A and B are shown apart, each in its own frame.
Chain A
Amino acid sequence: MKGFLNPLNRDYYGGTLMLLLGLGAAYQGMHYPLGTLSRMGPGFFPVSLGVILTLIGLAIAIGGKWAGLEDEKKTLPPEWRGWFCICLSIIAFVVLGKYGGLLPATFGIVFISALGDRQNTILGAAGLALASSVVCVLLFWWALQMQFPLFSWG
């Protein structure tokens, strides 16, 4: 099966990703003084790590090409709805936490992430979010006295 993420491509893309990360780290590390072996500057360690990662990435990518297609590992279809909702829910926590306070943030993260699951209904998600809000008030605000106002504006 030749899908987007079959084993061959997985190694190939993974290796390339490591290669790019390594190159990026080495390039950025060059901006800091390198120093000498006996007196290393702050740039020495990151640059060497970047070079090592680049080489490993190269090896993984080439290895993926060379080994050829193999065992048909199950490739899962992308799960856009779930991914989108989970990411959005965390962003919502940050935004609502900043401009609304702890309670809206709690409701937001649970409600939005619950909608990511196909079996959850809107009503079910809202119920779950309400229940978590109660737990949040009792546990974090009242019992643990967290430094996070329940409501805030701006």
Chain B
Amino acid sequence: MYESLNGLWFGFGVALQPHNLMWSFFGVLIGNLIGVLPGMGALSAISMLLPLTYTMHPVPAILMLSGIFYGSQYGGAIGAILLNMPSHPPHAVTCLDGYPMTKMGKGGTALGITMIASFFAASFGIMVMIFASPLLVAIAFKFGPTEVFSIMLLGLLAGGTMARGSALKGVAMTVVGLLIGVIGTDVNTGAHRFTFGITELSDKVELVALALGLFGVADFLHNINRITFVGSGTKVRFRDMRPSKSELKQAFFPMLRGTLIGTLFGAMPGTGPTITTFVAYALERKISKTPERFGHGALEGVASPEASSHSKTQVDFIPTMTLGIPGDAVMALILGALIIQGIQPGPNLISEHADLFWGLIASFWVGNILLVILNVPLIGIWVKVLQVPYRFMFPCALFFIAIGVYSTNNSLFEVNEVLIFGIAGAIFLALDFPAAPILLGYVLGPLVEENFRRALLLSRGDLRILFERPISAAFMSVCILLVLGQIVLAVRGAYLKRKAGVPGIDLPQAPGSVVENE
């Protein structure tokens, strides 16, 4: 406890160094801007700026990248509330009640509540991170390759099955990601695998090219000429953003519940942000005394999902940093960025890179405060940015993608990779496959293989070792439960569908045509 506070104090020292503060500010600003743009989320924002960090010191690099992450979430809510336009799928539920509030002339209040809820939830998530990380580290030190393999397997399975849509398809995409991770030189033997004689491929597929292909180019291919755009000309002034006392009271408990849901989901590996906000919304509607108000501008329907997405964002960092196991695709990207910097996240991170770890935590707070301050005067500009038509935006974004990917290695080969992965991603999207698990599989793939090999080397080829060591056995049984549960659900769902033709869950479908590419 005392150590954590000490570390936090140290962290503020790191985060407030002018150089680090500047990059953190730059990150939240750019993240906020890109988050506001329709069809662009945290994933494309982070991967576009990832090449820029290659030459930077690790601390400002990570501060900036995570700033982009939570900055884009603040931005996403603005489009959802003011224009009924979910820039990013997790905000799709925010549209349901946020936009009706705008139509009632209370858009400013909705934004104000969103901001308060986000800040509250983020602060809570940061607190959890401060006190839970050292505990997790203590456990993580008992991990050998066997345990690491089984927890990664769990993360991959959960990431595949808990994405939206069919669980089988999610797992298939995870395996595809693992296979893409195999491409390149095998670290143990030096053999070139799946390179097909192309020398550039012996150095692995470029992370940025993969991410921008799947989440940039594929989205453009999917959305072109299909996004119908309506400007709303809403004017929001700072005065409108201050919620009244009764509104604050009304939003307080939903905010608290959303925060707790986000914390819970953040701690679970593999649960995406979209599912978190949907669960938060569904819960609010379920326990409300007046569920009929939902969808017509209920304040609770804005406060709870937004709070959940922000606390989840912060808590997500815990397993990524302390175990080296990312919970979702954005975290996989941040993990990739750390590995590129030569830092292997894991139980040793806190002691070996204390400046990075505590600096990051402190910067969360600094960044969140910056965001609140930024959003108040800039809200008018964001509304203007929202009105940039898609037809002007995507060509420019495409150009930034191409040049960003080029700059990773100063070679045009990576630009070709973007095209290939963009087309592949668009095909997967059209076939209803979620693309996010690919990234998770790609980043974890080499680690999974390495630890699997080591574990079996230690046990002399005996697969039972996975079930003999207690921690590993626990993870493996959760994996098995997960698979069995999914099979039962799938068989039951298919049976019911055959019998009655009734769709299973009645989660609200959000408006807007932005693709659901979590």
Contact = CB atoms under 8 A, between A and B. Distances in A.
Nearest to B450: A45
B449 interface: yes
Contacts of A39: 457, 461
Contacts of A28: 194
Nearest to A116: B224
B34 interface: no
Contacts of A22: 175
B225 A81 contact: yes
Contact of B398 (A29, A33, A71, A90): A90
A33 B188 CA distance: 12
A18 interface: yes
Interface of B: 166, 168-169, 171-172, 175-176, 178-179, 182, 186, 188-189, 191, 193-194, 217, 220-221, 224-226, 389-392, 394-396, 398-399, 402-403, 406-407, 410, 412, 415-416, 418-419, 422-423, 426-428, 430-433, 449, 452-453, 456-457, 459-463, 490, 494, 497-498, 501, 503
Query: Which of B168, B172, B194 has its CB near the most chain A CB atoms (within 10 A)?
Result: B172
A60 interface: yes
B182 A89 contact: no
Given A14-B431, A90-B415, A67 B497 contact: yes
Contacts of B193: 29, 32, 42-43, 46
Contact of A148 (B166, B226, B410): B410
Nearest to B441: A49
The 10 closest A-B pairs by CB, nearest first: A38-B461, A82-B224, A37-B461, A14-B431, A117-B391, A42-B186, A42-B191, A114-B395, A113-B395, A90-B419
A67 B390 CA distance: 38
Contacts of B176: 18, 21, 53
A56 interface: yes
A140 B403 contact: yes
Query: Which of A45, A46, A94, A125 has its CB near the most chain B CB atoms (within 10 A)?
Result: A45
A56 B182 contact: no
A110 B395 contact: yes
A109 B395 contact: yes
- Main DSSP-derived SS at the A contact region: helix
Query: Which of A49, A71, A129 has its CB near the most chain B CB atoms (within 10 A)?
Result: A49
Contact of A14 (B191, B432, B449): B432
Given A46-B194, A136-B399, A97 B412 contact: yes
B396 A38 contact: no
B456 A40 contact: yes
18 contacts: A5-B431, A29-B193, A38-B460, A38-B461, A39-B457, A40-B456, A49-B175, A53-B172, A79-B224, A79-B225, A79-B226, A86-B422, A90-B402, A94-B415, A106-B399, A114-B391, A132-B396, A147-B410
B317 to A, nearest CB: 29
A110 B402 CA distance: 10
B456 A14 contact: no
Contacts of A41: 189
Interface string A4-46: 0101001101100110011001001100110011111111011
A21 B176 CA distance: 8
A150 to B, nearest CB: 13
B175 A52 contact: yes
B226 A76 contact: yes
A29 to B, nearest CB: 8
Nearest to A78: B430
A138 to B, nearest CB: 13
Contact of A89 (B398, B461, B462): B398
Contact of A36 (B392, B403, B461): B461
A10 B415 contact: no
